[in-house]
């Protein structure tokens, strides 16, 4: 059995690791060591995902919590290093682009443990995004890179990574979506909240560039107020965003608007149900661009760039500047049925983690050719 340390730290990680944990366990070839850094720790940002996604209780919790980038990254490194020394995993698997990902990668690399990055090669080419730095650093020291869309492979080759370390396996986020789609539909969350199919807007926002700059958050909130004149708006608020919105006058106006439903972060199944039945999703999330594409649902990503270009080229995602008029117009287009139809990208078929398990088990046996 291959002892695989699987690292989960923040909300999007849980969804990706759930697919990998399940596929590794089902293959009978891996013994998983599930490590939760606790970068995200609130019940609604963490526990609920483990429960709903059928994951076992983590073997270890690192208690990292919130902090500046340096604090959080350093804490993951100092907490995870003794774990790796004690448990001696055969391989470390990191996903995505959060601080827990890069911190774990640096630690594993320096202990000479084979390092695997799932969702490698994505690039926004915007180094003001902390995630872009995390992606570049993680890929630069990974032994094996599994990519979710063709652009990932192109970027890694352009950066000089050898062909044999890059494998296009598809999207593990979509594995979880497909596995839990019918359970999500069964929650009937939209109906419970009094929302009609295709007649409401679902909103998320948490990028520092959007929510940490009061002028930008104000423009976004203005757009939401105007969208609410067209149809109900439901906005599950990320903890980073909650305090920022509460300090702005426009936050009160959102709270008081009869057609705006503000709520804390909601569970994976309920959120997916809301996505499946929405008229339009407006977001700055990475994962939601992919999920909306897989669900063929109209999505506006309020960002100047995306590291997930297949969602725009093939999917239902549209990039949009932070411009209230453009967002309101998108609302009108989506409600009138005038949105592009999109198609599901190659290998977003629910089997990406299975392909990773098969490839990784072969690659690690009899021993990896890592440097």
| Position among 9, 121, 232, 236 found at the interface with ligand UDP (CB under 6 A) | 236
Which residue is listed with tokens 């940490």?
212
Phi, psi of 200 (to 5 degrees): -145, 160
Which residue is listed with tokens 């003001």?
128
**Contact window for ligand UDP (CB under 6 A) among 8-16, 28-36, 192-200, 355-363:** 8-16
7 binds ligand UDP (CB under 6 A): no
Q: With respect to ligand UDP, which residue has the nearer C-beta, 29 or 183?
A: 183
Q: Nearest distance from residue 211's CB to ligand UD1, in Å?
A: 8
216 binds ligand UD1 (CB under 6 A): no
| Position among 39, 306, 316, 317 found at the interface with ligand UD1 (CB under 6 A) | 39
**Contact window for ligand UDP (CB under 6 A) among 115-123, 134-142, 283-291, 305-313:** 283-291
Binding letters toward ligand UD1, positions 44-83, x by CB under 6 A: -x--------------------x-----x-----------
204 binding partner (options ligand UDP, ligand UD1, none; Cβ < 5 to 8 Å by kind): ligand UDP
Identify whether 206 is a catalytic site residue. Answer: yes
Phi, psi of 174 (to 5 degrees): -75, -25
Rg from Cα positions in the chain:
20
Within 13 Å of residue 100, how many CA atoms lie on the same side as its CB?
30
Q: How far is CA 121 from CA 65, 177, 207, in A?
A: 27, 22, 20
d(CA 170, CA 251): 39
15 binds ligand UDP (CB under 6 A): yes
Tokens read off for 238: 């990320």
Q: How far is CA 128 from CA 96, 213, 341, in A?
A: 17, 14, 32
Number of residues that bind ligand UDP (CB under 6 A): 15
Tokens read off for 201: 């807007």
Number of residues that bind ligand UD1 (CB under 6 A): 19
Tokens read off for 305: 């760039």
Among candidate residues 22, 161, 190, 206, the one labeled active-site is 206
Letter string b/e over residues 176-204, b meaning 16 or more CB atoms within 10 A of that residue's CB: bbebbbeebeebebbeebebeebebbbbb
Q: Nearest distance from residue 337's CB to ligand UD1, in Å?
A: 31
| Residues in touch with ligand UDP (CB under 6 A) | 11-12, 15, 204, 206, 236, 265-266, 268, 271, 285-288, 291
By annotation, the residues acting in catalysis are 206
| Residues in touch with ligand UD1 (CB under 6 A) | 10-12, 39-42, 45, 66, 72, 97-99, 130-131, 206, 238-240
């Amino acid at each position: 059995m291959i002892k695989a340390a699987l690292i989960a730290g923040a909300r999007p990680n849980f969804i990706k690791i759930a697919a990998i944990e399940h596929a590794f366990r089902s293959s009978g070839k891996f013994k998983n060591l599930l490590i939760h850094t606790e970068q995200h720790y609130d019940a609604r940002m963490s526990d609920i995902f483990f429960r709903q996604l059928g994951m076992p209780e983590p073997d270890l919790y690192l208690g990292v919590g919130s902090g500046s980038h340096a604090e959080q990254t350093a804490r993951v490194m100092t907490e995870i290093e003794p774990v790796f020394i004690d448990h001696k995993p055969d391989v470390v698997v990191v996903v995505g682009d959060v601080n827990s990902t890069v911190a774990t990668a640096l630690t594993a690399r320096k202990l000479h443990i084979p390092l695997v990055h799932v969702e490698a090669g994505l690039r926004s080419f915007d180094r003001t995004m902390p995630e872009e730095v995390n992606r570049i650093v993680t890929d630069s020291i990974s032994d094996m890179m599994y990519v979710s869309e063709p652009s990932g492979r192109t970027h890694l080759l352009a950066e000089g990574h050898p062909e044999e370390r890059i494998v296009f396996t598809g999207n593990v986020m979509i594995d979880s979506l497909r596995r839990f789609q019918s359970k999500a539909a069964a929650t009937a969350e939209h109906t419970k909240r009094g929302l009609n199919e295709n007649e409401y807007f679902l909103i998320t926002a948490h990028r520092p560039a959007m929510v940490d700059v009061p002028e930008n958050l104000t423009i976004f909130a203005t757009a939401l107020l105007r969208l609410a004149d067209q149809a109900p708006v439901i906005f599950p608020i990320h903890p980073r965003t909650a305090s920022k919105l509460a300090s702005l006058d426009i936050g009160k106006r959102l709270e008081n608007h009869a057609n705006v439903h503000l709520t804390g972060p909601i569970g994976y199944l309920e959120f997916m149900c809301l996505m499946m039945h929405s008229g339009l999703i407006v977001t700055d999330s990475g994962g939601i661009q992919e999920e909306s594409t897989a669900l063929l649902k109209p999505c506006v990503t309020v960002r100047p760039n995306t590291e997930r270009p297949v969602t725009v080229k093939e999917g239902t995602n549209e990039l949009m500047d932070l411009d209230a008029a453009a967002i309101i117009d998108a609302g009108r287009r989506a409600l009138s049925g005038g949105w592009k139809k999109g198609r599901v990208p190659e290998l977003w078929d629910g089997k990406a983690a299975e392909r990773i398990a098969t490839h990784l088990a072969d690659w690690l046996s009899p021993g990896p050719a890592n440097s």
